[in-house]
Amino acid sequence: MLQSRPFLQLWSAQFLGQISQNIANFALIVLVNVQTGSTLAGGFLVILFSIPAIVLGPTPGMLVDRVGRWWVLWLANLLRTLLGVGVGVALAVIYAGTANGAKDGGLVALLYFFSLSLSVSTRFYMPAEATAIPSLVGLRGLTNGLALFGITFVVAEAVGLIVLGPILQLAFGWPALFYVCAIGFGLATLLSVLLSPRQLGVARAGTVETAEPADEQEAALLATLEAQTERRSLWQQLKEGWEPIAHDNQMLVGVVRLSVAGVVIALVSELAPNFVVQVLHRPAQDISLVLAPAGVALIIGALLAPQLANRLGQLRLAGLGVNGVALAVALLALNRPLGDFFHFPDGLIIPLAVAEASLLGFSLNLISIPCQAVIQERVAPRLRGNIVSFQQALFNLAAVPILIAVGLLADRLGIPSALLAVAVIILLASRLHTREKPQPIIHVEPPAPAVEPSDSSLAL
């Protein structure tokens, strides 16, 4: 698989695009906080990134099928390149690098527009990339290919959001972040253009020309694999995904807890800037004080989770992860109140926050990895896409109102109160099920065949 030049090109394009997107995420999160000082305003960034997934529904997948993957891949990257250049020039010319642009509503509107446009282009890029992988590696290499893309997704998040974003801002200023994003997306565009249109599949006169598979059976399986998830509306995904889950409580537990983990990650993006300001008494640019230890612990959790799951069981480990996340969030909430009560210096409060953020990151992967394993183990392969689509739809529906409510609470009562509310939400949401005892694995026939999608978007 790694000897395939087309696959390496697609993989490199994904890695560069993800790094660029996470650099942009850092700039958006911090700049909106600097301009507004509002937690809710930061939450709208996450909401804007989720809205296209709900509104566009099956449109991106249908477009990919109609015009071909090659066109969508390089055009989406080109659009993101132009967006990065445009915002970088606007920051440098109109807003003087934001040095004198504090509390500027026009700048906030520009950043919101950039976030929404980036999300729209990403929604079209995702189905093109996900369906290109099996075309390039075939069914035999699909599992390893998806795993490799998943690893680079996590690594790119750490490199862009935690490392490059803060360093570039400190060294060169805010416009440079968007210029670097444009360079990354530009290189991804070039790599996408150099891919073979015939291998990826190019729509011509109502037909799609694809790479020749090893045999007819693999061709039929690939056609089924590439056809389903992005074509269905949000409500179709909910309906088709709910039917098998309703018969299997183990799967329900896994789906709910996986959605809880996703919402927590979105809330971290919303609350982190003002946590750094209100609790740690540092500027919002020092957001890496929270994100860096959480990111490192997230990787450690990913390495240890499979071994722990073998000893404790998948759902028991996920339950411990939920409790660990709730405990970490509660400790983060109590950090400043208890520190002030006991007269702790900032030199002690900050290390405590680092330890609490590390517990949070470690616990998140104790939830996500076992729950994903439960979904994989308890359903037939043809049904996995329905379940994953249901989980993603559940996450999108749950995240928006929670982000608004927690943002309003944080702006009115402060970050500690909002974090305590998040801890309560986590515990309540994770206990919507009634039992966890093992049940027989149920292979319910789905309304239509589907496979697990590869979602490369990041909810900030």
Model confidence band, residue 298 (pLDDT cutoffs 50, 70, 90): confident
- In the listed set 205, 231, 257, which residue is the last one of a domain according to the structure? 231
Closest residue by Cα to residue 365 from 314, 399, 311: 314
Specify the pTM.
Answer: 0.74
- Report which of 151, 454, 431, 445 is spatially closest to residue 315, judged by C-alpha positions: 431
Q: Are residues 221 and 322 in the same domain?
A: no
List the end-to-end C-alpha distance of the chain, in Å, as a whole number. Answer: 30
The boundaries of the domain holding residue 305 are 232-460
Q: Do 16 and 425 contact (CB within 8 A), yes or no? A: no
CA distance 169 to 48: 24
Which residue has tokens 């992967």? 365
Q: Which pLDDT value is given to residue 276?
A: 92
> Do β-strands 207-209 and 202-204 pair in parallel, antiparallel, or remain unpaired?
antiparallel
Residues 263 and 334 in one domain: yes
What is the C-alpha to C-alpha distance for residues 367 and 372, in angstroms, rounded to an integer? 9
How far apart CA 31 and CA 418 sit, in angstroms, is: 21
Do residue 136 and residue 245 come from a single domain? Answer: no
User: Mean pLDDT across the stretch 215-236?
Assistant: 48
List the structure tokens of 56: 């566009």
Question: Of 448, 445, 401, 459, which is closest to residue 425 (Cα–Cα)?
Answer: 401
Provide CB contacts within 8 A for 134, sequence distance 6+. Answer: 142, 145, 222, 225, 226
Per-residue pLDDT tens over the stretch 361-411: 899 888 888 887 777 677 665 555 566 666 666 777 788 889 999 999 999
Do both 27 and 72 map to the same domain?
Answer: yes
| pLDDT number for residue 438 | 46
Say how far apart CA 249 and CA 427 lie, in whole Å.
18
Q: Give the pLDDT confidence of 175-191 residue by residue, as tens digits.
A: 999 999 999 999 999 99
Is the same domain home to 347 and 447? yes
Domain harbouring 161, CATH code = 1.20.1250.20
pLDDT digits (tens, 9 = 90+) for 127-138: 788 778 777 776
Question: Domain ends where: 213, 231, 249?
Answer: 231
Q: In the prediction, which pLDDT does 300 show?
A: 85
Residues 6 or more apart whose Cβ sits within 8 Å of residue 398: 259, 263, 429
**Model pLDDT, residue 419:** 93
Same domain flag for 178 and 246: no
When pLDDT is averaged across residues 135-146 and rounded to a whole number, the result is 66
The answer to whether residue 263 scores a pLDDT higher than 80 is yes
pLDDT in tens, 315-345: 889 889 999 999 999 999 999 999 999 999 9
Q: What are the pLDDT digits (tens) for 31-87?
A: 998 888 899 998 888 888 878 877 776 677 777 777 888 898 999 999 999 999 999
Cβ neighbours, 10 Å, residue 441: 12
Mean pLDDT (the chain) is 78
Amino acid at 382: R
Distance from C-alpha of 399 to C-alpha of 393, rounded to nearest angstrom:
10
